[in-house]
Amino acid sequence: MIFRMSVIAVAGMLLVTACGKQAETEATLSEAETSVADTIRTKFLDAKPGDIIDIPEGTYFFERSLSLTVDNVTIRGAGMNETILSFKNQVAGAEGMLVTASDFTIENLAIEDTKGDALKINEGSNITIRGVRTEWTGGPKTSNGAYGMYPVQCTNVLIEDSVAIAASDAGIYVGQSKNVIVRRNRAEYNVAGIEIENTIGADVYENFATNNTGGILVFNMPNLPQPGYGTRVYNNDVFENNTKNFGHPGTPVASVPAGSGIVVNSNDQVEIFQNRIMDNKTANVIIASVYSAGFEGLQTQGDFDPYPEGIFIYGNEFSGGGNAPDGLDLKALKTLMFGLNGSLPDVLWDGFVNEEKLVDGQLVGEDRICIDNGTAGIVNVDGPNDNKNPSTDMSAHECTLAKLPAVELAGL
Amino acid sequence: MKKWLFVLLLAGVLACSENELQEPVFHADTNPEKLSDWGQVVSTNEQLVLARDVTPYDLNTPLFSDYAHKLRTVWLPAGTSAEYREDEVFEFPVGTVITKTFYYNVDGQQNSKQVLKTLALEGLPDNALPLQNVRLIETRILARRKDGWVALPYVWNQDQTEAILKRAGDIKRLTLVAADSETEFAYLVPDTNQCAGCHATNNTTRKIQPIGPKARHLNRDFAYSNGSENQLVRWQNVSILKDAPAPLLAGKNAVWTDERESLEARTRAYLDANCSHCHNKVGPADTSGLHLEPSDPIGPNFGICKLPIAAGTGTGGRQFGIVPGDPDQSIFSYRVESDNPAEMMPELGRALVHTEGAALIRKWIAQLEGSCGASL
């Protein structure tokens, strides 16, 4: 066997000799990759668990998306205004940076002007996004990428001290995840400032959401493996989210009326408390079903629950808002019920309920929408009957629900 | 033994003549800089020649890659075989090397940026690809090492004599010349992490896998240098594969262009090859709830009246994945007809619209019956 191998080697050498021309010609493509962008890209390719990829101050331009596939890597810049990864020349890739790994930290840098999403993290545990800015620098435009920071199907997610600007869908979007904290971020000029979707256990607090179409959204979408529940939205500043909806028709957020403060759609067990919610022109809080946006004929997986249930609103500081709702139906309704100069109450509910759960025409127990918030009122716009019998009757909503536990992120 | 020596020496002497055969090499733990170090396919005398025992193959319906043609090969170390799998990719032994060479036809100069939109070659009758009027772009290697598969992109040089490992990938700016149009585009050579974007078909294990070598893709005839034969039969005969059933008993995707096949079978084959490596129940696109494997029922999770989840720009203002009877209202058609990286599908691996593939999807949606019952 050994002999045979050596014979092959000899024959191989003969081949190489005979074809000498072959060996000389690789020079044209073997130049070292000198561009800085390629140096950074190569660090992503060569990353080993435990690595910290430091990207110094500067602006770096990429034509192609970056991706990371190795666990336990930290990507660290010199600051969200100092280290800028710019994708304005991007020609390939559906996101700026795609991470498919766990124990991942990204901090202190900016990702700008990506064609699609800025930062997507698909299926990982222990994800930290800290001090990151995602921005489309031309301001809110429909042609901007969809999401700024987008962890999806992740467990243990911390997004803090970050800034998301001008995403054509959600600035910070946590999808189909478990155990999530989103805190101390600023979201501006996105369609949705912060969106928690199909996620189990999320605490959203001390954020600042303004000038979005909708400030903070808690959604459930059909046809997905995991329905979400258990989100606490508290101690946030949510004001003047009145930017015209520039989302793409057909996306779920395109149905969000301009002037929405906090929106719950088809999600359950959502607690909204101690926020400062002001001057959101449609309504400071909206509770709705997926049916509210013309999806009456929806085909979904059999067990999808389209009704928002177990919603508890208390201790918020409301002011202004509801004075100029977006959309003809709501405008007409407001004028009819509250007059030209009046305003919708702080909480707007579309009125879709699961008929099978009603007792004497009302939701009961843990499924209720409870408001224990001083003078804050509700308007049920009677969505199921095309707004025929809207009501401001608070009696079914004067209740409290058991409070949800805090999310704890071990080790983050 | 003497006979061996003689044959090999003769091969050496004949090097650079018409039909030399190199010996393929498996690199167990290093990534050689030059493609020729793998031996599998070698550019010599205006031909891309397959090395000894390297078998070319083709798929019933392939992935679209900007109209590039593809020469696929497989090689296993002597004495080893892959285990047959009914629906999954075959279980290949350590030492397996798969190559895929992407190339275009050109008029005249081989390094021309003007590449032609031409029909693919059928089979490989000379066991070599003539390189006159061909521009080689890249050759991707999938090698099965002890710890799993690795994916490595090699980019061809201007002279078409050697391809060099380019782990960081590349962009090639080309112009596709068709009968009535010229379209500039940025051809993407993926970086090694992006290889995993398609080849890690299970987003939980994230193990890199070949995608093509499944029974349903391979179950077809191929024109070999010694005649045409069903690929599953050939693979079994040359011991690339063991325990394969007769072709009639194995899965078989339609050839997407074969109008004798049903529209549904052709569309499913197309969606399988172009989408299901991500759009499967455990793939990177399981986040969308859209599953496009051949075994998936044509219902909401196949896109029928399905709301988009995170499509962003990709909705094109449309409400549902597929609106039966109405491709113009279907996100499917919008995304395959787009060449904007933010909205197109697949997300990676094309810069051009596959006009003919998009037309197939259109035609299929147009004849679906039903409606989604709502509109914006």
The predicted structure's pLDDT at residue A405: 97
Position B15 scores a pLDDT of 43
pLDDT in tens, A247-290: 988 888 888 999 999 999 999 999 999 999 999 999 999 999 98
First to last CA, chain A: 56
| B236 and B272 in a common domain | no
In a domain, A1, yes or no: no
Q: Tell me: do B352 and B234 sit in the same domain.
A: no
SS3 (DSSP) at A335: helix
Contact across the interface for A30 and B164, Cβ inside 8 Å? yes
> Number of folded domains in chain B?
2
pLDDT value of residue B20: 61
**B2 part of a folded domain:** no
Label residue A298 by pLDDT band (50, 70, 90). Answer: low
Residue B357 in domain: yes
β-bridge partners, A268: A229, A309
Q: Which of B248, B278, B298 is the last residue of a domain?
A: B248
Q: Give the SS3 label for residue A263.
A: strand
Q: Looking at the complex, does the CB of residue B77 fall below 8 Å from at least one CB of chain A?
A: no
Q: What is the pLDDT of residues B184-235, one digit of tens each?
A: 999 999 999 998 888 988 888 889 999 999 999 999 999 999 999 999 999 9
pLDDT digits (tens, 9 = 90+) for B254-290: 999 999 999 999 999 999 999 999 999 999 998 999 9
In a domain, B102, yes or no: yes
Across A348-362, B90-104, B107-121, the highest mean pLDDT is recorded for: B90-104
Is the CB of residue B348 less than 8 Å away from at least one CB of chain A? yes
Q: Which residue has tokens 């989210």?
A: A241
B167 shares a domain with B271? no
How close B363 gets to chain A, by Cα (Å)?
Answer: 22
Whether B51 is in a domain gets the answer yes
Candidates A45, A168, A299; nearest CB to B305: A299
Q: Cβ contact (<8 Å) for A250 and B376?
A: yes
Any domain includes B129? yes
Q: What is the pLDDT of residues B116-153, one digit of tens each?
A: 999 888 899 889 999 999 999 999 999 999 999 999 99
Closest residue to A7, CB basis, from B5, B33, B372 = B5
Closest by Cβ to B317, choosing from A18, A19, A248: A248
Whether the pLDDT of residue A365 is over 60: the answer is yes
Both B104 and B210 in one domain: the answer is yes
Residue A375 in contact with partner chain B when CB distance is under 8 A? no
Number of folded domains in chain A?
1
User: Which pLDDT does position B121 carry in this prediction?
Assistant: 81
| A125 C-beta neighbours (distance < 10 Å), count | 17
Do the domain assignments include residue A163?
yes
Q: Are residues B199 and B264 in the same domain?
A: no
Query: Helix axis angle, B2-13 relative to A2-18, nearest 10°?
Result: 10
Nearest CB neighbour to B15, from listed A19, A29, A152: A19
Answer yes or no: do B81 and B223 share one domain: yes
CB spacing of B188 vs A294 below 8 angstroms: no
Q: Does B367 touch chain A (CB under 8 A)?
A: no
pLDDT value of residue A227:
92
Q: Which of residues 53-92 of A touch B (CB under 8 A)?
A: 63-65, 67-69, 90-92
Q: What is the pLDDT of residue A38?
A: 86
Same domain, B33 and B61: yes
Q: If you count them, how many residues does chain B have?
A: 376
Q: What is the mean pLDDT of residues A336-358?
A: 93
**Cβ separation of A94 and B305 shorter than 8 Å?**
no
pLDDT confidence of residue A36: 85
Q: Which of A11, A28, A69 sits opposite B193 (nearest CB)?
A: A69
Inter-chain touch B192–A92, beta carbons under 8 Å? no
Chain B residues in contact with A246 (beta carbon < 8 A): none
Q: What is the mean pLDDT of residues B321-331?
A: 96
Q: How far is A196 from chain B (nearest CA, A)?
A: 12
Q: Which domain holds residue B354?
A: 260-366
- Among chain B residues, the shortest Cα distance to A222 is held by B307
Amino acid at A365: G
Of B248, B277, B299, which closes a domain? Answer: B248
Is A34 domain-assigned? no
Instruction: Report whether pLDDT(A138) > 90.
Output: yes
Rounded to the nearest angstrom, the minimum Cα separation between A116 and chain B is 4
Instruction: Tell me if chain B has a CB within 8 Å of the CB of A249.
Output: yes
Domain containing residue A66: 47-397
The gap between the terminal CA atoms of chain B, to the nearest Å, is 78
Q: Are strands A260-265 and A283-288 parallel, antiparallel or unpaired?
A: parallel
In-domain check, residue B8: no
Identify whether A156 is part of a domain. yes
CB contact (8 A) between residue A64 and residue B171: yes
Chain-wide mean pLDDT for chain B?
91
Residues of B in contact with A295 (CB under 8 A): 307, 374
CB pairs A-B closer than 8 Å: 244
Q: How far apart are CA A121 and CA A150, in angstroms?
A: 6
What distance in Å separates the CA atoms of residue A155 and residue A176, rounded to the nearest whole number? 9
- The residue written with tokens 């380019």 in the block is B166
Interval B156-187: pLDDT, tens? 999 999 999 999 999 999 999 999 999 999 99
A240, part of any domain: yes
Q: B49 near B21, Cβ under 8 Å?
A: yes
Q: Do A251 and B311 touch (CB under 8 A)?
A: yes
Mean pLDDT of A86-111: 95
Q: From chain A, pick out residues whose CB is under 8 angstroms from the CB of B131.
A: none
Residues B206, B330, single domain; the answer is no
| Chain A residues touching B351 at Cβ < 8 A | 91-92
Task: State which residue of chain B sits closest to A28, comparing Cα positions.
Answer: B157
Q: What pLDDT sits at residue B16?
A: 42
Nearest CA in chain B to A69: B193
Q: For an interface test with B, give the residue of A2, A3, A19, A43 to mutate (most B CBs within 10 A).
A: A19
- Shared domain for B296 and B234, answered yes or no, is no
Residue of A26, A142, A250 lying closest to B162 (CB–CB): A26
Nearest to A22 by CA among B46, B73, B130, B124: B46
Cβ <8 Å between A3 and B13:
no
Question: Which CATH number does the domain housing residue A265 bear?
Answer: 2.160.20
Could you tell me if residue B5 is inside a domain? Answer: no
Residue ranges of E strands in chain B:
41-44, 47-50, 55-57, 69-75, 82-83, 97-105, 114-116, 128-130, 134-145, 148-156, 163-165, 170-178, 181-189, 221-224, 227-230, 241-242
A304 confidence band (pLDDT: 50, 70, 90): confident
Task: Give the model's confidence band at A295: pLDDT under 50 very low, under 70 low, under 90 confident, else very high.
Answer: low
Chain B residues in contact with A12 by the CB 8 A cut-off are 22-23
Is the pLDDT at A16 greater than 80, yes or no?
no
Least Cα separation, residue A276 to chain B (angstroms) = 29
Chain A residues with CB-CB distance to B156 below 8 A: 29
* B131 and B268 together in one domain: no
- pLDDT for residue B313: 83
- Among B218, B248, B278, the domain boundary falls at B248
B374, part of any domain: no
In this structure, the answer to whether residues B267 and B154 fall within a common structural domain is no
Closest chain A residue by Cα to residue B161: A22
CB atoms within 10 A of CB B122: 11
Residue B318 and residue B180 share a domain: no
Please check whether residue A42 touches B, CB under 8 A. yes
Q: Which pLDDT band holds residue A301 (cuts at 50, 70, 90)? A: low
Residue A26 located in a structural domain: no
A50: helix, coil or strand? coil
What is the side-by-side order of every strand in the sheet holding B41-44? Answer: B41-44, B47-50, B128-130
- With a cut of 80, say whether residue A104 has pLDDT above it: yes
**Mean pLDDT over each residue of chain A, to the nearest integer:** 89
